[in-house]
Amino acid sequence: MPSVLITGGHSGIGLAASRELVAKGAEIVLAGRSPERMGEVADELRSRGGSVSTLALDMSSLSSVREAAAQLKSMLAEGTIAPLEAILCNAGGRFDGDVSYSPDGYETTFATNCLGNFLLVELLVPQLVDEGRIVFTASGTHDPDTPDGRYIGGVAEPDALTLAATGKDGSKPLSASKRYATSKLCTVMYAYELDRRLRRSGSSIASIAFDPGAIPDTAFLRGMPRPVQVLAASSPMKWLQKRMGITMSTADFSGASLAELAVDPRFADASGKYFQAKEGTLTAVPSAKLSYDEQRAAKLWEDSRRLVHLSTEEEAPVLR
Ligand SMILES: NC(=O)c1ccc[n+]([C@@H]2O[C@H](COP(=O)([O-])OP(=O)(O)OC[C@H]3O[C@@H](n4cnc5c(N)ncnc54)[C@H](OP(=O)(O)O)[C@@H]3O)[C@@H](O)[C@H]2O)c1
């Protein structure tokens, strides 16, 4: 069975996906910035019969992404891990509190949720087997025309240069909610633009966007005050959110859905689509109107290339 690289596979939705992938017989590479936690989860997955490796990766740091990609290439070349069947760009989060910047000087949410994943994909696409898949964990908050998007307060223009520099020129930065929702709009646009580039070059690799739904029980809200986290995960609050039309799910169901999108033959023609996990059902649904804007997506891609300083040698030929 080929291997699956999963970022943030040691917690929340990613952990549930890792467990499901092991149950399906896949070899797993856990990538993240928490070696101890990944080690514990790797032991747990091995006790379930899984073959598991770990890879140090801080998504907010471009040099860390480059180092992780180089290490994964060596592991593949040496045969330490099986050929790569899927890349799950799942790590990410909302970064509450004052705006902060990555080691490369980019706003933390955009650096982590967007540029880290973008660079990882650019560097690793050529390593995937034929008909391999890339799945991006997005969020329903990216669509301001849905209750999920309205609840979080809408999105800003998906412009990489502006998002990376928000608050830097002395102007008021975007709110944490808007930084998050916009980063997920960009994530959906990356998935669609990647699909278009792959199709143009005749590649058999699939690019899929995934909304896991609202799951307040993961560590997702860790940047919020503790009482807010407890309230968000309470039964009355979940009931209220459901009444408001929020897309509700559980870590187990959404993790299993992510695993299916990665390897299940049922999703062999899923490229260029957006899937949503909602109350026990996984279906392809439309994403935000803006996410289908091809001109904006092409600009987002090219600007992201500039921001990650992608060299000609690093450019994947299938993505030119
Ligand atoms: N829970 C929800 O309601 C919800 C809804 C829609 C979308 N999502 C998305 O689902 C994905 C998984 O979130 P979750 O709910 O499972 O929350 P989670 O348990 O907090 O998982 C997030 C994962 O991302 C990792 N991560 C964050 N920053 C990182 C960095 N700089 N470098 C490497 N790894 C980093 C975390 O690693 P550490 O342990 O090192 O922090 C963690 O493993 C995220 O992309 C999130 O935006 C969640």
Cβ–Cβ < 8 Å for 166, 186? no
Please give the residue range of the domain that contains residue 108.
Answer: 3-319
Ligand 1 midpoint to CA 27 (Å):
21
Whether 230 shows a pLDDT value over 90: the answer reads no
Residue 220: CB within 6 Å of ligand 1?
A: yes
| Torsion (CA) 249, 253, 254, 256 in degrees, nearest 10 | 180
**pLDDT tens-digit readout, 285-299:** 999 999 999 999 999
What band does 282 get if pLDDT is binned at 50, 70 and 90?
A: very high
Q: What is the pLDDT of residues 201-213, one digit of tens each?
A: 999 999 999 999 9
Question: Which atom of ligand 1 lies at the shortest distance from residue 91's CA?
Answer: 24
Q: Name the percent of the chain lying above pLDDT 70.
A: 100
User: How many angstroms separate the alpha carbon of residue 74 from the centre of ligand 1?
Assistant: 26
Q: How many domains does the chain have?
A: 1
For the chain, helix, strand, coil in percent to 5 are 50, 15, 35
Residue 1 has pLDDT above 80, yes or no: no
Q: Please provide the average confidence, as pLDDT, over all residues in the chain.
A: 96
Q: Is the CB of 272 under 6 A from ligand 1?
A: no
Question: Residue 303's domain is classified under what CATH number?
Answer: 3.40.50.720
33 lines ligand 1 (CB under 6 A): yes
Instruction: Answer yes or no: is pLDDT of 134 > 80.
Output: yes
Which helix (H) or strand (E) segment is 235 a member of?
A: helix 235-243
Give the per-residue pLDDT at 8.
Answer: 97
pLDDT in tens, 60-79: 999 999 999 999 999 999 99
Indicate whether 116 pLDDT > 80: yes
Q: What's the rounded mean pLDDT across residues 13-35?
A: 97
pLDDT at position 18, please?
98
Confidence at residue 309, expressed as pLDDT on a 0 to 100 scale:
98
Single pTM value for the model: 0.97
Q: How sure is the predictor about 171, in pLDDT bands with cuts at 50, 70 and 90?
A: confident
Rounded to the nearest whole angstrom, what is the distance from the C-alpha of residue 176 to the centroid of ligand 1?
Answer: 15
Nearest CA to ligand 1 atom 27: 92
- pLDDT score at 49: 95
Region 152-162: what's the mean pLDDT? 96
